[in-house]
Structure 1
Amino acid sequence: MAAIEQLGDWLGEFLGGRKGWFRRPQAGIYLWGGVGRGKSFVMDAFFAAAPVEGKRRVHFHAFLQELQVRMQDFAGQSDPLARVAREIAGQTRLLCFDEFHVHDIGDAMLLGRLLKVLVEEGVGLVCTSNYSPDKLCPNPLYRERFKPAIALIEKRFSVFSLDGGEDYRQRSTELEAWGSFHWPEPEDGGALIRQQLGLGDGALYDQVLEVNHHPLRVHAYEPQRAWLDFTELFATPRSAGDYLWLIEHFPQMAVGGLGRLGDYPQSVSQRFLNFIDIAYDRALHLQLYSSVPLEQLAEGGNAVDFARTLSRMRQLKAVPVVATPERG
């Protein structure tokens, strides 16, 4: 309730413009807190109610992918990012940005300069994050380059910690599952997966798809459904745009071959976490098949943000795989 009140007060002041010669309204609200605390819920409720023309709600990975695509339109011109940011500002009065985080230098450079231009152009911003502003970019290799963006947030945004001490996603009886988690993975050559995914007689098996001009081998697919392998999806370099393409074409998806993330390089684990972020935001109906229980998935790994991923995966319906008894 306190967060909603602060959002309402800020929006009224923001839409009212300057209150005096020396005072200008805050550029936005920065909501941060632990996983499952209701940040996205509050922001989405605010977005739905805000009486603003030209409002947008975006998710971290999809929005960065959009920026990169739009920057290609200005290839060869000076400062393509600033040009795209001004385009966005010309179309958007209120931008709600979910899952704000910074884990690599590319994201840091894009987000830092984007924020600066949007604030200068007068776009109202509401951001949610699992991190306080000063913890946004912990990697010392490029933290110095992101410090101006942190300073901008701390100076021009109202920073609000939203954390009642409970992960609401753990109330599994009150939340609708967005898919299923199957353990242990069946050893029947995939017959159970094909059945549970609902693949029909027209499904194509052992195919190679072109995903954003890159090959991706799939166990099987048909319109709206695909059965994929963990290693094929995450062990080779793939972008958020690839995962967005797959979810757009196959809103029901089964992924087999999961194991302990600690058995893979950090880059593989991070791609899996990015995929779960995107899948959750885009309401993918996901079936995961794992060789280890959910609580052991992250053992030995060092992927960043696994707490958020685990919270979301706990919303998957747990389906124990029972071996078919042998007939005598």
Structure 2
Amino acid sequence: MSLTVRHPKVPTERLLAELVPPQHFARESFDTYEPDPAHASQREVRDRLREVADALAAPTRTGGSWWRRRAAASAPAVYLDGGFGVGKTHLLAALAHAVGPERVAYGTFVELTNLVGALGFAATVDALGERRLVCIDEFELDDPGDTVLMSRLLRELADRGVAIAATSNTLPESLGEGRFAAEDFLREIQALAARFEVLRIDGEDHRHRVVTTDAALLDADAVRAAVSARPGGALDDFDALLAHLASVHPSRYGALLDGVDVVGLTGVHGIDRQDVALRFVVLVDRLYDRDVPVVASGDGTDLFTADMLAGGYRKKYFRALSRLAALTSQGAALVAERKA
């Protein structure tokens, strides 16, 4: 199969139904989070989020404007501030699971801005305003327009009594210290800053892994053979796929991968246009969320230019490189298994 022949039509109901914790964290809970005894803040934040979950799980009341104002004033708003690999996403997913999937919308910053692009601002507020809690993973400050949009969205939701929980994104290259400070987050959401409770999580990367951004490249014949051997394999020329992504709204990139369990790319090379690069970043995020291995061939040049890696969107690019390296490592392992 080929991704470039797919033009998914995604109803609003599906876009909203997909706002759940990623597959990596589908079974995580507060009980599966193991705080490091050397860092008391990990246990303290977990216990505080349990309190938030208990408060949000209580029955809600409907009524007049007085009750709505009271709900808005009491709705929790928490920001998990910490370095790479201390369990922020685990705890955010645990909070979502504890409150209940039917009462929570969970997405990354990019997924929620894409949702606004697909539905429109007012429709997004109305849809998310029905939830008890909105979780935003990897809150980003690299695009001023998107930051203003998200700040306005959060304000509208908080005024409706919707609780908010957010984490920051991190640079894979920076490991434990790779975060933007809580002060930056609060400054950018000035109208809501006073409502947010900052929960600082200390600690080292619990996975103790070496983060790589080097994708594992194969030869083109190996890529074709690996994909043809799997019923759920999709094979595409890199340039053709990049061109196709421009014709599909980013909110539908997940649907683009329906039924796909490995992606093969031939002719992978460096990308020199920022709009093209950012669309590919979103696709990599959806591949990573769904644990879809990638097998790729190419010329071995850097995927993103030096200017991109030094510019305002550098966090997005480094995250994509790290995730793509993980996915291509999985793909290379599939090829090795087939040969064994």
TM norm structure 1:
0.65
After superposition, the Cα gap between the structure-2 partners of 1:53 and 1:273, relative to the gap in structure 1 and judged at 3 Å, is: closer
Write out per-residue CA displacement over residues 144-173 of structure 1, whole angstroms, 9 at most, x where no aligned residue: xx96x521443111122335232737279x
Q: Are 2:55 and 1:49 aligned?
A: no
CA contact (8 A) 1:52 1:94 kept: no
CA contact (8 A) 1:37 1:166 kept: yes
After superposition, the Cα gap between the structure-2 partners of 1:250 and 1:126, relative to the gap in structure 1 and judged at 3 Å, is: same
Determine the C-alpha separation between the residues in 1 that align with 2:252 and 2:237: 15
Query: In the TM superposition, what is the alpha-carbon distance from 1:281 to its structure 2 partner?
Result: 1.8
Query: In the TM superposition, what is the alpha-carbon distance from 1:83 to its structure 2 partner?
Result: 4.6
SS of 1:125's equivalent?
Answer: strand
1:282 matched to which residue of 2? 290
CA contact (8 A) 1:39 1:128 kept: yes
User: Superposed, which structure 2 residues align to 1:99-110 within 5 Å?
Assistant: 99-110=138-149
Q: Which structure's CA Rg is the greater one? A: 1
Alignment counterpart, residue 96 of structure 1, candidates 126, 135, 153: 135
CA contact (8 A) 2:106 2:136 kept: yes
Write out per-residue CA displacement over residues 119-164 of structure 1, whole angstroms, 9 at most, x where no aligned residue: 000111211222445445xxxxxxxxx96x5214431111223352
Q: Are 2:113 and 1:64 aligned?
A: yes
Determine the C-alpha separation between the residues in 2 that align with 1:8 and 1:50: 10
Alignment counterpart, residue 236 of structure 2, candidates 228, 240, 252: 228
User: Superposed, which structure 2 residues align to 1:1-328 within 5 Å?
Assistant: 1-13=43-55, 24-25=73-74, 27-50=76-99, 54-71=103-120, 81-90=121-130, 92-130=131-169, 131-135=180-184, 150-166=189-205, 168=207, 170=209, 181-183=215-217, 185-186=218-219, 190-199=220-229, 224-234=232-242, 237=246, 239-248=249-258, 250-260=260-270, 264-292=272-300, 297=303, 300-303=306-309, 304-305=314-315, 306-316=317-327, 317=329, 319=332
Name the % identity.
Answer: 24
Query: In the TM superposition, what is the alpha-carbon distance from 1:198 to its structure 2 partner?
Result: 2.7
After superposition, the Cα gap between the structure-2 partners of 1:300 and 1:51, relative to the gap in structure 1 and judged at 3 Å, is: closer
1:177 matched to which residue of 2? none
Please report the RMSD computed on the Cα atoms of aligned residues, expressed in angstroms. Answer: 3.7
Query: In the TM superposition, what is the alpha-carbon distance from 1:44 to its structure 2 partner?
Result: 1.4
The higher relative CO (CA closer than 8 Å, separation ≥ 6) is in 2
CA contact (8 A) 2:215 2:321 kept: no
CA contact (8 A) 1:133 1:153 kept: no
Gaps of 5+ in 2: 1-42, 61-66, 170-179
Gaps of 5+ in 1: 72-80, 137-145, 173-179, 201-222, 323-328
1:78 matched to which residue of 2? none
Query: In the TM superposition, what is the alpha-carbon distance from 1:314 to its structure 2 partner?
Result: 4.2
Determine the C-alpha separation between the residues in 1 that align with 2:116 and 2:232: 27
Determine the C-alpha separation between the residues in 2 that align with 1:168 and 1:99: 19
Determine the C-alpha separation between the residues in 1 that align with 2:117 and 2:286: 17
Write out per-residue CA displacement over residues 245-292 of structure 1, whole angstroms, 9 at most, x where no aligned residue: 32235343122333345xx13333333322222221233333333433
Determine the C-alpha separation between the residues in 2 that align with 1:13 and 1:49: 11
Query: In the TM superposition, what is the alpha-carbon distance from 1:237 to its structure 2 partner?
Result: 3.8
CA contact (8 A) 2:268 2:296 kept: yes
